[in-house]
Homo-oligomer: A and B are copies of this chain.
């Protein structure tokens, strides 16, 4: 089945690995020009003096077919010589940057320093790598995810990578409230369907949803999410612990639905997770460990969405 005829314009909101893998499937199934990805930049940060955009890079590398399949982030063919030499100099080495990946950060940082907006340099990098889908950062301006813990407030990366997300989360906040990047609101306006990828609602999707005008635009559209919680666990990352810490509920698709508070028209969950939900549900294989898995899930998600919206 082709998703091509089903929707003329689809927007998918995405964090890193899970969202990127859904995008990979959607990109393969939808005709050129249909898919726009709006990607979280709340966990962007400065490192080695460079602007790192982890989710944008994961989406770009995944859509380009260059991503390391098992890790989910970074490039498949990669070396870490610069990192090793940096260690030798006693420099920061807590965040893994590969040599080819480094070129992405260097080109982006230089462009930003020269006044090119993040959305423009993202389009340019994606084009150079042959990415077909339109990839938009959620915003050109800085919006930094902050994690409140009992021990104080940490930047997302300090909490997530450097601290291995081991500290309990008392709250998530965003520093900076930039407008959506050029094209984001227009894409949502034109969308016949909005998908929320299987990404962390608190730290990957909320930064997008809280951009001025985004939530209001979504409320006028059919929105369907793919659950990032599978069998009570997060596929990746600390979400399964964050849900009870932040909402008092057990980690489940229902907690995800409630978090999005009325926004969802339907939800796609892992087979066996369908029970206890008070909105249309599709059970599917949501773990996408290969490109074929991504295509299969994307096909089912689009078909489910078509049934709900037609």
Q: Hey, which chain B residues are within 8 Å of A81, CB to CB?
A: 78-79, 81, 98-100, 103
Q: How far is the CA of A91 from the CA of B108 in the complex (A)?
A: 10
Question: A99 is contacted by which of B79, B88, B128 (Cβ under 8 Å)?
Answer: B79
Q: A49-B113, A79-B79 are in contact. Are A86 and B107 (CB under 8 A)?
A: yes
Q: A85-B104, A103-B89, A128-B90 are in contact. Are A110 and B49 (CB under 8 A)?
A: yes
Q: Contact at A49–B89, with CB atoms within 8 Å?
A: no
Q: Is A48 an interface residue (CB 8 A)?
A: yes
Q: Contact at B85–A103, with CB atoms within 8 Å?
A: yes
Q: How large is the interface on A (under 10, 10 to 19, 20 to 34, 35 or more residues)?
A: 20 to 34
Q: Nearest Cβ in chain B — how far from A77, in angstroms?
A: 8
- In the complex, the chain B residue whose C-beta lies closest to that of A121 is B89
Q: Is A82 an interface residue (CB 8 A)?
A: yes
Q: Contact at B85–A125, with CB atoms within 8 Å?
A: no
Q: How far is the CA of A100 from the CA of B81 in the complex (A)?
A: 5
- In the complex, the chain B residue whose C-beta lies closest to that of A83 is B103
Q: Nearest Cβ in chain B — how far from A270, in angstroms?
A: 36
Q: Is A84 an interface residue (CB 8 A)?
A: yes
Q: Nearest Cβ in chain B — how far from A65, in angstroms?
A: 14
Q: Is A129 an interface residue (CB 8 A)?
A: yes
Q: Contact at A103–B82, with CB atoms within 8 Å?
A: yes
Question: A49 is contacted by which of B79, B101, B103, B106 (Cβ under 8 Å)?
Answer: B106
Residue-wise, chain A 71-97 has the 8 Å CB interface mask toward B (1 for contact) of 000000011011111101111000000
Q: Contact at B100–A48, with CB atoms within 8 Å?
A: no
Q: Contact at A128–B84, with CB atoms within 8 Å?
A: no
Q: How far is the CA of A124 from the CA of B104 in the complex (A)?
A: 28
Q: How far is the CA of A253 from the CA of B162 in the complex (A)?
A: 58
Q: Is A286 an interface residue (CB 8 A)?
A: no
Q: Hey, which chain B residues are within 8 Å of A91, CB to CB?
A: 103, 106-107, 110
Q: How far is the CA of A102 from the CA of B81 in the complex (A)?
A: 9
Q: Contact at B109–A84, with CB atoms within 8 Å?
A: no
Q: Which residues of A contact B (CB under 8 A)?
A: 48-50, 78-79, 81-86, 88-91, 98-104, 106-107, 109-110, 113, 124-125, 128-129
Could you write out 13 A-B pairs with CB less than 8 Å apart?
A78-B81, A79-B79, A81-B98, A81-B100, A82-B102, A82-B106, A85-B103, A86-B106, A89-B103, A89-B128, A90-B128, A91-B103, A91-B107
